[in-house]
Structure 1
Amino acid sequence: MPSKLNDTKRSVLAGAASRTNLRVLPVPETLKVSEATVDKMVRELLGAGLVAETPAHESDVVWREADGAAVTLVITDTGLAAIGIEPGATPVETPAPDAKTSKQDAIVAMLRRPQGASIEEMTAATGWLPHSVRGWMSGAAKKRLGLELVSEKDGSGTRRYHVAALRQSAET
């Protein structure tokens, strides 16, 4: 596993982790990289064991053809661990990002999921440092957006944050 992922690879892995089917493709539209760069990056992720090939379904984006069968890519448990997400955690499908999706929008969507988000997941999705995520939560989220955030530790001891009203409605 690479010792450090760049922001682009981290964004690709975070995008896959946010999908219920864990598919890597298509890469987030917010990434402004060429097809050649995506191809090279995905090959590096494959070589590092962070993503793996799997048979493609009809609705999947095809990575390549192998022996006459379509193949796509999924994030592996190693890939999930590399971006700070516990393998086996059930992802909740978030809306597909469009070109206008901001980092703030990505974090708010993560905080609105029933399981919320950890600092590690938010840093993986945005490329921000942990202190920047914490600062955003106390500044922009609470003061400017008026979100009431709740912090709890899950069963594995990881601190997770979520929007209070959503969490209450999910528990009832």
Structure 2
Amino acid sequence: MIKLTDTQAILLAAASQRPDGSLVPIHASIKPGGGAAKAIANLLRDKLAEERETTNEVAVRRVDGDIRYGVFITDAGLTAIGITGDGDQAGAGTVQLPEIVDVEKAPTKIATVLALLDRAEGSPMATLTEATGWLPHTIRAAMTGLRKKGHPVQRIKRDGMTCYRLFGAK
């Protein structure tokens, strides 16, 4: 039995659920640049998928002159994911498509810097370096980058310490 990568398994499982068996369009769980092109090339090489003419605009992978080609799952591809020729699940080798989960992302370091700068008293360099883990020269470069993006970053002195804040901060 052929060992499939996660990307190959997702491509084949999605194709098996389509009436025409097309691998294209790529399933939403595979990110752009997520190796789909290489996975399709390997599936073609292993004869788990085949390239053939198609009239379905959505299923087109490449165009050669006036002829449109798509990539479609083969019987060997169905067998590789545990689906027999009559459409029944073979059991052990079945592949479930991953559920797309919306994950709340942690704030970026630059977002943390902006939050610290948005205080009326501003933030000293020590606070900024501690919050981000950056060195002082990186903080200063980030301030320059923020200024270039239109943020009104202001350098002020407070108790003999250099602080940074956004102009007009609360």
TM-score, normalised via structure 2 length: 0.51
List alignment gaps of at least 5 residues for structure 1.
90-114, 128-172
Aligned to 2:30: 31
Contact 1:13 1:80 in 2 (8 A): yes
Aligned to 1:133: none
Distance 1:118 1:126, change over 3 A: farther
1:19 partnered with 2:18: yes
Aligned residue pairs, count: 98
Contact 1:15 1:125 in 2 (8 A): no
Distance 2:90 2:75 in 1: 17
RMSD value, Cα: 2.3
List alignment gaps of at least 5 residues for structure 2.
99-170
Matches within 5 A, 1:36-55: 37-55=35-53
Aligned to 2:55: 57
Distance 2:29 2:83 in 1: 21
Over the matched positions of the two proteins, sequence identity in percent amounts to: 28
Match of 2:70, SS?
A: strand
TM-score, normalised via structure 1 length: 0.50
Match of 1:45, SS?
A: helix
Q: Which one scores higher on RCO, CA 8 angstroms, separation ≥ 6? A: 1
Q: Given residue 48 of structure 1, which amino acid in structure 2 is its aligned partner?
A: D
Tell me how far 1:13 sits from its aligned partner: 0.2
Q: Given residue 60 of structure 1, which amino acid in structure 2 is its aligned partner?
A: V
Aligned to 2:96: 125
Contact 1:63 1:70 in 2 (8 A): yes
Contact 2:23 2:73 in 1 (8 A): yes
- Identify, as 1 or 2, the structure richer in helix: 1
Higher Rg of the two aligned structures: 2
Moved over 2 A (4+): 58-61, 117-121
